Structure 1
Amino acid sequence: MSDARLREEICRYGRSLFERGLTPGSSGNISLRLEDGGWLVTPTNASLGFLDPARISRLDAEGRLLSGDKPTKEIPLHTALYDTRGSARAIVHLHSTHAVALTMLPEIDPRAALPPMTPYYLMRAGETALVPYYRPGDPAVADAIRGLAGKYSSVLLANHGPVVAGDSLEAAVFATEELEETAKLYLLLRNLNPRFLSPAQVADLVNTFGLDLPSHHDHDHGGD
């Protein structure tokens, strides 16, 4: 796909996310990793609903700005996920309401922020890690993500929002949307003793669709 088409794709998906209220104001950012190791990434203080393809930041493989506006200050978290998640070709970071709310609950397990509620949550987002709070743009968030060793494609930043990687921009967007809807389901059903997928049902999904879930690494994949 040409550089122009990739820029248009970022704008199209960004507008869709914005118009459905998944990331308000100038929050959130999107990046795409290019074949030469460089990136296209949304600029700082840019609304995902009103992106200009020509102003999207173009970075080289070392993260230096080649053209476009100044990039988002969240470059460290994108870098960390690309560095540890070799299959990642796109990353979406939002401030979606239900996913942020989930991070504030005391019972959340950092190794599995959501239980296995639906098959499509596991199939698109996998399991989700929760990392502690860091101020936006703090390079320390990169260390926290690197500490996950690439086991998770979806990560929640406490009091901040989701960061989701995919092997394409479409996959990253769909996974982010699935994560938000699953967080909404969790909040709706909290304290109502809902029925989650059983271990056998999860194992069936892993075996049928080849899912790479952290909780199954030791049993099915021999670890990373």
Structure 2
Amino acid sequence: MKKIFTENGLSIAFILLFLISITGQFFAGHKEYNTERAEAGRTSVNYSEYLSSGHFIEATFENWESEFLQMALFVVLTIFLRQKGSSESKAFDKKEAVDREPSRLHRHVPWPVKAGGWILSIYKHSLTIALSLLFLISFALHFYGSLKDENEQRIEKHKPTETAAQYISSSKFWFESFQNWQSEFLSVFAIISLSVFLRQQGSSQSKPVDAPNSETGE
């Protein structure tokens, strides 16, 4: 058991933080949603009803969507683009291990490398593919939840509901998306830029404390 935590401590810590956060979001959102319904003279919903509500689905996947978009773009753009002095960039003056063609000769090679062919072709880009698919799924669920929540509010106000085709071009939906996208892009810009000048001893996201600002890469 100790070995499991030692070898997977980073992922375990973040999945626990995620579970704590989404639990807090769920209960706080449930209370807020019922407060809004009470103010509108509507009955409260229970936990299972809230879980499938547009309010919860939209709020959850609106954030997931921006996270996966940011990570997918960061993975792709770091293939081609550089930032002098940043620990988040590949070096200018040398080829790095991630650029080499996969070899079947070393020990413990992953099975897709051994398989070769189209399986290897997919595996070589599997991180980008996975993150892009997670973004698209989250985007679709954000849209579904936002549309559902919007139509619930329109019914409450005795207004006609909107179709998916109408809502996809609405300013509300794109405002929800862009307000999250911009914060993710800013956070990536911050870590790329600040890692040029600032350090954190012991972190893989920082250059060594005694490295010059002009040194690119970890």
Q: Into which bin does the TM-score normalised by the smaller protein fall?
A: under 0.3
Q: Which protein is richer in strand relative to its size?
A: 1
TM-score of the superposed pair, with normalisation by structure 2: 0.25
Larger RCO of the pair (alpha carbons < 8 Å, separation 6+): 2
More helix by share: 2
Q: TM-score, normalised by structure 1?
A: 0.25
Structure of larger gyration radius = 2
